[in-house]
Amino acid sequence: MYRLGEIIALRYINTVAKKNKAVAKLAQCDKEEKAHNAITYIIARYLRVKDFAITESFTGYLYLRIKHELFYQRKVDKIVDFVDWDSYRGTK
């Protein structure tokens, strides 16, 4: 289930990347990480939630999870700015 879900998730990400420049700019390792996060979330839900079931479409549920992985941003994520420590201190 994991490997097949990861392959499908990567295909979804690459499809979204054709339409979205921000997703297209992601490195391949970032795309793979987001695919991994999406499928492991679904598997974890199966293992942890007793009554969890996907009744309609597994791939549809995976697609929604991919959209969440690609575009969801918390308020705290918006204010955090990642910088290179050396350039911040002025040692470069």
pLDDT tens over the chain, length 92 residues: 899 999 999 999 999 999 989 889 888 988 999 999 999 999 999 999 888 888 899 999 999 999 998 888 767 666 666 666 676 666 65
Parse the chain into domains and list their residue ranges: 2-73
- Residue 71's pLDDT is 86
How far apart are alpha carbons 47 and 87 in whole angstroms? 45
- Residue 79's pLDDT is 67
**3 state DSSP class of 27:** coil
How far apart are alpha carbons 46 and 74 in whole angstroms? 25
How far apart are alpha carbons 31 and 11 in whole angstroms? 10
**3 state DSSP class of 41:** helix
Q: Which residues contact 10 (CB under 8 A, 6 or more apart)?
A: 31, 32, 35
